[in-house]
Amino acid sequence: MTETLETAMPAPAGLIDVHHHAVPPEYAAALADRVAIPGVDYPHWSPEESLEVMDRHGIDAAVLSITAPGVTFVEGDDARKLARTVNEYFAGLIAAHPARFGAFAILPLPDVDAAREELHHAVDELGLDGVGLLTSYGSRYLNDPAFEPLLAEIAERGLAVHVHPVVPPSADLVTFDLPPSLYEFTFETTRTVAGLLFDGVLDRLPGLQLILSHAGGTLPFLAQRLTHGPTIGAYLTGRAPADVVGTLRRLHYDIAMSANAFALPALTELAGTEHILYGSDFPFMPASHTTENTDGFRAYAGWDETQRAAVGRANALRLLPRLAERIARHA
């Protein structure tokens, strides 16, 4: 499936990329020489590089986000200021390229009060398109009760939430000298969703529009297994959702690093094409992978062209009405 850039299959036009990272200059300066993700080379990035890759692959618009570690490497006022700086950078980039870029706002969690304040600024004043959250903050996953009021407000506002994994919080995790992002990221997504399921958050917040990275990690493979929670542990009888698989089908999944014959059949069986969205993972995965992932998206035989158009564009525009309006206005 992998091809060189020169021999890549022509990409379908009009894609909306919901998993596309940015490394703003101020963020890169704050990160400095810290190890952001063990074993991962933090890439150089510029808007011009993104636009060039987007143009080459038929991507109309990319919704930018900050990947791990978010702003968790600083604390207090420094975290709040850095989140504000990044969100204002995003807003400026959208103003300069209104039909090409969108953005998921970064929030200075685990400080919930500061996160709610930044949510209001980023959405109400800056007009960003949605929210970007990490699977965990320190040792606290998204099912932590302290986070639920924030999630409830996001759900009430009808905002899409892009959920990105981080390095697992366990201090003694053995990674076999492999980058955690190679495989642990997929388990992190699974962990946080399992917590949201069995703590009842997804049942209490049915309007929470989560977009899970990388085809939902291992969720498509484990969906049926998760229904056996009360069988394995009777204490879960009162905590298990009435319909585990139905709840998982309500969520959304991007196909960054996943547009291949191994992942797409299981994901499509779980989510249906109306809940799957295109993603590239650029620039943390290089342009050659954008080619590979786009070719995999285009070639997958399990979808008809109407379904492919939904995955590539329509689903994202439905979830991100501000971006849809900008694209329509500037077409």
Q: What is the CATH code of the structural domain delimited by 15-330?
A: 3.20.20.140
Structure tokens at 82: 């850095």
Give the Cα-Cα-Cα angle 127, 93, 46 (nearest 5 degrees): 145
Closest CA to 100 of 47, 141, 143: 47
Which residue ranges in the chain fall short of pLDDT 70?
Answer: 1-13, 35-36, 171-175
pLDDT at 277: 98
Structure tokens at 302: 């399990």
Structure tokens at 182: 């190679």
CA distance 203 to 218: 21
pLDDT at 54: 97
- Burial-class residue 72 by CB neighbours within 10 Å (0-12, 13-18, 19+): middle
pLDDT at 1: 34
CA distance 75 to 80: 8
Closest CA to 130 of 121, 138, 142, 122: 122
pLDDT at 174: 67
Say how far residue 280 (Cα) sits from the centre of its chain: 11
pLDDT at 3: 36
CA distance 251 to 79: 29
User: pLDDT by residue (tens digit) across 10-52?
Assistant: 444 599 999 999 999 999 999 988 866 777 778 899 999 999 9
pLDDT at 184: 84
pLDDT at 185: 81
Place of tokens 């899409």: 160
- Where are the domains positioned within the chain? 15-330
3-class secondary structure per residue, 242-311: CCHHHHHHHCEEECCCCCCCCCHHHHHHHHCHHHEECCCCCCCCCHHHHHHHHHHHHHCCCCCHHHHHHH
CA distance 49 to 44: 9
Length of the chain counted residue by residue: 331
CA distance 19 to 241: 29
